[in-house]
């Protein structure tokens, strides 16, 4: 993987800039530039043809300064240790920007789930959790769905964890089926949150969503729910694309019919009444809103040059390369950064975990109301930071996030952001003779 597209290096650069802008000092950067724990596992699976295949997986736990680490698990052929490390750091900053009591983590297994049977996938999911169980738990590290992992996979993983521990621990994992303690609104949460942030951005730039057009790259869980909620908001979704192809209709796609079509055909390609479209064409469409909802590094410098949209809503994690980001920012495109834009998923994961802790469950309307309130508040906080410091939305989001994590690290005594200047020993002696006696009850300070 080239350095410019390596998520680990990209997030280190983002951290560096935020630490420098906030003048937090080298200690904070050094503390947060690497994940605190990265685990590699080898998971043997008996395949349907009786062969044993071993899959390599990772779990990166970035920091627990602000709480147990939290983040999804992805199944994908391109998973790598640096990708997982970078994604775990993005999770830290995502939970921090939302003010959730978590640190960040991410897991991944190198596999191609499209080529595996359901039984093979179940065995892989269970094996992965068995390997990691000693390092996980509701107060330690809490997984969730990510690319190519579903609520069914979370169900198998929860069952495996419960078996290993001999206890029912629903708060171990989020995004699980409702019947096992999942939350209402979790499946749709990321897409729902994306559209809340799009609505907030549209208000700021004076765009009426009912008059607006949108294109979405990626049509998995996040892309499809984003299409659904944009359609409900009155926005014309003119193009969508998934790994198998694209569908374009300048008059607007019939989103309910498209969702039905995808449920049957597992792709948007060939949707009746649409023309095919490829990624470059989609990025270059004359639409108001562009939603990258697939993988990292899709909007590089070359693709950024094609963009005509006013708003880019980063539904995926890390969809824009630093070069692409720079170019878009110089052209005044309003980018809703990933750590804010797609934070609806982890926010409802947090609601799920809270409900598991209470053993008391909220109706869908309550989840939705709470999600809207939290997304809008986070958006406003980042926007205010952007205005105050005259920076991009992305930089503003990092300022909010890194400040919070640094504050937690300092409160724990891990770093001293502003160390008192050293006092020469002769002055210290002079002071000792003039200082009043300390009272007997003076508190004793503990060193780090």
Active-site residues, by number, are 106
Binding of ligand GLU by 226 (CB under 6 A): no
CB of 72 to ligand GLU, least distance (A): 3
Which of 237, 232, 256 is closest to 247 using CA atoms? 237
Measure the CA–CA gap between 108 and 115, rounded to whole angstroms. Answer: 17
Binding of ligand GLU by 71 (CB under 6 A): yes
The binder of ligand GLU chosen from 92, 224, 303, 349 (CB under 6 A): 349
Part of the chain binding ligand GLU (CB under 6 A), chosen from 7-15, 31-39, 60-68, 344-352: 344-352
Compute how many residues bind ligand GLU; rule: CB under 6 A.
12
Binding of ligand GLU by 141 (CB under 6 A): no
> Contact 402/18 with Cβ under 8 angstroms?
yes
> Contact 237/254 with Cβ under 8 angstroms?
no
The three-state secondary structure class of 216 is strand
Dihedral sign (CA 74, 18, 397, 354): positive
The binder of ligand GLU chosen from 214, 345, 378, 397 (CB under 6 A): 345
> Contact 83/2 with Cβ under 8 angstroms?
no
How far from chain centre, in Å, is Cα 180?
24
Terminal C-alpha separation, the chain: 38
Binding of ligand GLU by 346 (CB under 6 A): yes
Nearer to ligand GLU, 72 or 324 (CB): 72
Measure the CA–CA gap between 226 and 217, rounded to whole angstroms. Answer: 11
Site residues for ligand GLU, 89-128, by CB under 6 A, read 94
The binder of ligand GLU chosen from 14, 57, 60, 70 (CB under 6 A): 70
Which of 195, 396, 216 is closest to 309 using CA atoms? 216
Site residues for ligand GLU, 374-433, by CB under 6 A, read none
CA-CA-CA-CA torsion for 14, 17, 22, 27, nearest 10 degrees?
80
Part of the chain binding ligand GLU (CB under 6 A), chosen from 52-60, 225-233, 273-281, 345-353: 345-353
Q: Which residue is nearest to ligand GLU (CB)?
A: 72
CB of 198 to ligand GLU, least distance (A): 17
Inter-CA distances, 209 with 202, 205, 229, Å: 7, 11, 11
Interface mask (CB under 6 A) for ligand GLU, residues 165-184, using x and -?
---------x----------
Inter-CA distances, 296 with 8, 49, 315, 316, 336, Å: 12, 34, 11, 7, 15
Nearer to ligand GLU, 249 or 355 (CB): 355
Which residues lie near ligand GLU (CB under 6 A)?
A: 70-72, 94, 144, 146, 174, 317, 342, 345-346, 349
């Amino acid at each position: 993987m080239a350095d410019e597209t390596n998520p680990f290096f990209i997030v280190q650069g983002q951290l560096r800039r935020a630490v420098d802008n906030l003048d937090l000092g080298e200690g904070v950067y050094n503390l947060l530039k690497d994940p605190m724990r990265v685990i590699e596992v080898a998971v043997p699976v008996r395949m349907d043809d009786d062969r044993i295949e071993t899959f390599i997986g990772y779990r990166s736990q970035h920091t627990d300064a602000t709480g147990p680490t939290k983040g999804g698990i992805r199944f994908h052929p391109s998973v790598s240790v640096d990708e997982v490390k970078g994604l775990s750091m993005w999770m830290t900053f995502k939970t921090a920007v939302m003010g959730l009591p978590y640190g960040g983590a991410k897991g991944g297994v190198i596999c191609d789930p499209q080529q595996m049977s359901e039984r093979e996938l179940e065995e892989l999911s269970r094996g992965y959790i068995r390997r990691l169980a000693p390092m996980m738990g509701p107060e330690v590290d809490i997984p969730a769905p990510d690319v190519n992992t579903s609520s069914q996979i979370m169900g198998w993983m929860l069952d495996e964890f419960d078996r290993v521990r001999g206890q029912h621990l629903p708060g171990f994992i989020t995004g699980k089926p409702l019947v096992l303690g999942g939350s209402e609104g979790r499946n749709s949460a990321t897409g729902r949150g994306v559209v809340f942030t799009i609505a907030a951005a549209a208000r700021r730039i004076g765009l009426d969503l009912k008059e607006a057009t949108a294109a979405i790259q990626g049509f998995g869980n996040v892309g499809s729910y984003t299409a659904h909620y944009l359609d409900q908001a009155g926005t014309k979704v003119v193009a969508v694309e998934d790994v198998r192809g694209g569908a374009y209709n300048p008059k607007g796609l019939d989103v309910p019919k498209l969702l039905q079509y995808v449920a049957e055909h597992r792709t948007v390609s060939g949707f009746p009444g649409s023309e095919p479209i490829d990624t470059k064409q989609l990025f270059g469409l004359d639409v108001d809103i562009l939603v990258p909802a697939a993988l990292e590094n899709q909007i590089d410098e070359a693709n950024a040059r094609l963009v005509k949209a006013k708003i880019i809503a980063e539904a995926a994690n890390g969809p824009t390369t630093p070069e692409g980001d720079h170019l878009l920012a110089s052209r005044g495109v309003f980018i809703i950064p990933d750590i804010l834009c797609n934070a609806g998923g982890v926010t409802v994961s947090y609601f799920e975990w809270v409900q598991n802790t209470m053993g008391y469950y909220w109706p869908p309307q309550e989840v939705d109301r709470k999600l809207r309130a939290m997304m809008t508040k986070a958006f406003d906080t980042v926007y205010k930071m952007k205005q105050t410091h005259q920076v991009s939305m992305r930089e503003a989001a990092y300022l909010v996030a890194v400040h919070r994590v640094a504050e937690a690290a300092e409160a724990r005594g891990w770093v001293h952001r502003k160390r008192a200047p050293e006092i020469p020993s002769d002055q210290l002696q002079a002071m000792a003779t003039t200082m009043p006696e300390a009272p007997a009850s003076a508190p004793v300070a503990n060193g780090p």
